[in-house]
Amino acid sequence: MLNHPDRRDFLRVGATVIPAVLASASLGGPTPTSPAETAVKALYESLNGDQKKIICFDWDHQDKDRGLLRTFVSNNWQITKPTISGTFYTKKQQDLVHEIFKGVINPKWYPKFLKQLKEDTGGKAWGADQSIAIFGKPGNGKFEFVMTGRHMTLRADGNSEDNVAFGGPIFYGHASMGFNEKPGHEGNVFWNQAVLANKVFQLIDPKEQKRALVAVRPEESAVAFRGPKGLFTGIPVCDLASDQQTELQTALNGLIEPFRKEDQAEALACLNKQGGLKECYLTYYKEGNITDGTWDNWRLEGPSFVWYFRGTPHVHVWVNVADSPSVKLNAKG
């Protein structure tokens, strides 16, 4: 499908266009002096020796159960034992962690993430059920900050891994009205992403909709890269009409919107390096569907791009984006 002679380049279709400046995956990503990364360095320098022994690791630290620890991702886990708001950290250190958290998300989404975290931890305050780790030495070569908890794996690495977006695979989710959400997912801060993706489906011809629909959804953590010759499911984006492709670009913008602009830019750059959305496939799953007229479970996937939205019994979203399919996945559902 590369360089398909009969299809327009999706990235140039419609009113919304991915800027040409994002054509290189080396452009637009975070740096060691980005706000979040600056706070990571300050946090690291504030830690005493006993604290570093518990939450700081070598860049390539191997965990006996999780493998290369800094690359691991799951839907509900703690990377280290101390919680952010417990007694392990000083008030100043807690504030620095909060600044890192705020630095890796879109400011407009800050209240939404707070709502998600509170509802997903039984009403606990921010930091009560989240933990962190630091790999490498901020300010002296490669480093990465990882924050985990229920429905959360976020990273800040100053582009230490310049061939991946978001510092590596990330996870976000929400169970707004109980573990088993009702049709329509009332109150779920991420549900609008599914609404945007389903607007594309509604524009597709009924005969083509059959190509996009798959009976059984894959395991939720199955977001490893397939590469350009992979066996993809669903409908090729290059086979969509221009208005459908434009609607899909709007959906893509909605997917990356919760995160800081630097990570948004790097994600688009990684995607563009592998041919852009025109090299992706769009799949909707019949299994687990609960919302009439809207597919709760769907997936946008390219050679080294996976955005998997699992909407049943509540929202789990797995994200794995790089500029090369050679990047290995380290995940567990």
In tens, the pLDDT along 47-94 reads 999 999 999 999 999 999 999 999 999 999 999 999 999 999 999 999
Let me know if residue 261 belongs to a domain: yes
pLDDT per position as a tens digit, 200-213: 999 999 999 999 99
Same domain? For 72 and 209 the reply is: no
**pLDDT per position as a tens digit, 218-245:** 999 999 999 999 999 999 999 999 999 9
172 within some domain:
no
Q: 120 and 192 share a domain?
A: no
The confidence score (pLDDT) of residue 13 equals 31
What is the spatial distance between Cα 294 and Cα 183, in angstroms, rounded to a whole number? 9
Q: 94 is in which domain, residue-wise?
A: 35-158
Q: Write down which residue in 158, 175, 195 finishes a domain.
A: 158
140 and 210 fall within a common domain:
no
The pLDDT value given to residue 128: 97
CA 202 vs CA 75, 236, 284: distances in Å: 30, 16, 12
Looking at residue 18, what is its pLDDT? 43
Q: Report the amino acid identity of residue 153.
A: T
Tens-digit pLDDT profile for residues 250-275: 999 999 999 999 999 999 999 999 99
Q: Cα(112)–Cα(248) distance, rounded to whole angstroms? A: 23
301-332: pLDDT as tens digits: 999 999 999 999 999 999 999 999 999 999 99
The total domain count for the chain is: 2
Mean pLDDT of 103-111: 98
**Do 133 and 233 reside in the same domain of the chain?**
no
212 and 318 in a single domain? The answer is yes
Residue 15: inside a domain? yes
Q: Do 21 and 46 have their domain in common?
A: no
The answer to whether the CB of 4 falls within 8 A of the CB of 278 is yes
272 & 231 share domain? yes
Residues 40 and 147 in one domain: yes
- pLDDT score recorded for residue 16: 33
Q: What is the mean pLDDT of the chain?
A: 92
- Name the CA radius of gyration of the chain, rounded: 20
259 inside domain: yes
Confidence at residue 198, expressed as pLDDT on a 0 to 100 scale: 98
User: Which amino acid, 140?
Assistant: N
Q: Determine the 3-state secondary structure of 51 from DSSP.
A: helix
